Amino acid sequence: MLDPKFIRDNLEEIAIAAKNKRFDFNPNYFKELYEKRLQLIKETEELRSKRNTGSDAVKKAKSKEEREALVAEMRKMGPLLEEAEKNLREIEADFEKLLLTIPSIPSSDTPLGASDVDNVEIRKVGSIPQFSFQIKDHIELGKSLGIIDFERGANIAGSRSYFLLGAGAELERAVHSLALDLLKSRGYKQLSVPVLVRTSAMEGTGYLPGGADQAYFVEKDDMWLVGTSEVPLASYHQNEILDEPSLPVKYCAWSTCFRREAGAAGKDTKGLYRVHQFQKIEQVIICEPNIEKSDKLHAELLKNAEDLLQLLELPYRVVQVCTGDLGQGQVKKNDVETWMPSRNNYGETHSCSSFYDFQARRLKIRTKDSNGKTQFCFTLNNTAVATPRVLIPLIENHQTPDGRIKIPKALQKYMNGAEYIG
């Protein structure tokens, strides 16, 4: 959410940003609603002031006649105030609903573009493996080694479902252990978080109202299953004022995540690339409202993910996400894409985002500066690792001519010293 006064003073810039990010925004409607709301606030406050003044006058009345006349006047004012307050509540609700749909302005270094096709490559790291044999994809490898079962997954939970078995489940656990140990060594506090949350947490982090079609809603309990632990992590300090010396706070969490993948019918239906339920370790930082410091922390989050991929001995590339591929609240974003031999291309495995005060304003997470002024914090996040998607490059890039999978050295200690699967 943006500051309403900032929107009012920068309508043209917001309109351009909305167009570039492919969001609807009508500056004239905002201006009309903004001015109407201010007028109703003024009218309501004037009526309340008159009511208070009248109450004092009644108490000070010197005669019965004067008191009765004042009471009669106040009775006339009652319905007027009631009507004004009703109109204000309605306009406030409309205004709040509108604010929840307005996108943030991309950073100045975000490239213009319409979709992920226009994202700009920054760097490539690692060499794409050259195989001297006919490679197998992760589906075939998983089946032949008995570590992935798609058939039983589909029978029990429907399409885009799977089981990881034996060494497959152990490999997933090893990747998570490596990631959590790496983050702990860098000062990130691990939290165990709820994955069933209230609407306020989903709205606060920007996943509602625009992302409802991608989330699972438990109607009976009026709760949502999260698609990332970013939601509970970023919401942890909701409605709090944090001491500036304590910032930045750095959190991480492992959680099960759920996504409906609406609109993805017929796309990536086979394998582990696009599934409904997965495991993810997320990184979230809350910092003071300073763009320069936020940018440095963004680079730190990105480095954590890159260092992990290097430990997994996987080739990858980093891209700068263009305006048309940014989410509503994101002001800048980098995707990390890892090489997947079966796709003969890079596939997204990490997404690093800066929000400035967009989420904190919704969640009411604030801090006080050295002058005692209360300001909204900045928030950032990035994937540390998400499985099973990262298992695709891990299995495929490390396959051997005899159909086994070489386990990267960094994972071997988490798998009882084993060097191969199979």
Is 173 an active-site residue?
A: no
CA distance 298 to 292: 10
Is 152 an active-site residue?
A: no
Closest CA relative to residue 236, chosen from 284, 288, 180: 284
Give, to the nearest 10 degrees, the angle between helix 27-60 and helix 11-20.
130
CA distance 391 to 393: 6
Closest CA relative to residue 323, chosen from 122, 99, 22, 15: 22
Catalytic residue among 160, 294, 389, 396: 389
Is 288 an active-site residue?
A: no
Residue 98, by phi and psi: left (phi above 0), alpha (psi -120 to 50) or beta?
Answer: alpha
Is 90 an active-site residue?
A: no
CA–CA distance from 363 to each of 375, 390, 392 (Å)? 13, 31, 36
CA distance 422 to 307: 27
What DSSP string describes 38-61?
HHHHHHHHHHHHHHHHHHHHHHH-
DSSP 8-state assignment for residue 398:
T
CA distance 10 to 102: 12
CA distance 72 to 60: 15
Catalytic residue among 37, 260, 274, 404: 274
Catalytic residue among 107, 255, 259, 353: 259
Residue type, 137: D
CA distance 420 to 422: 6
Give the other-Cβ count within 10 Å of 164's Cβ.
Answer: 21
Catalytic residue among 104, 351, 353, 354: 351
CA distance 141 to 143: 5
CA–CA distance from 287 to each of 1, 50, 190, 375 (Å)? 17, 44, 17, 11
Is 317 an active-site residue?
A: no
Question: Which positions ≥6 away from 181 have C-beta within 8 Å?
Answer: none
User: Please, what's the largest Cα pairwise distance for the chain?
Assistant: 106
Contact at 8 Å (CB) between 208 and 177? no
Q: Which residues are catalytic?
A: 259, 274, 348, 351, 389
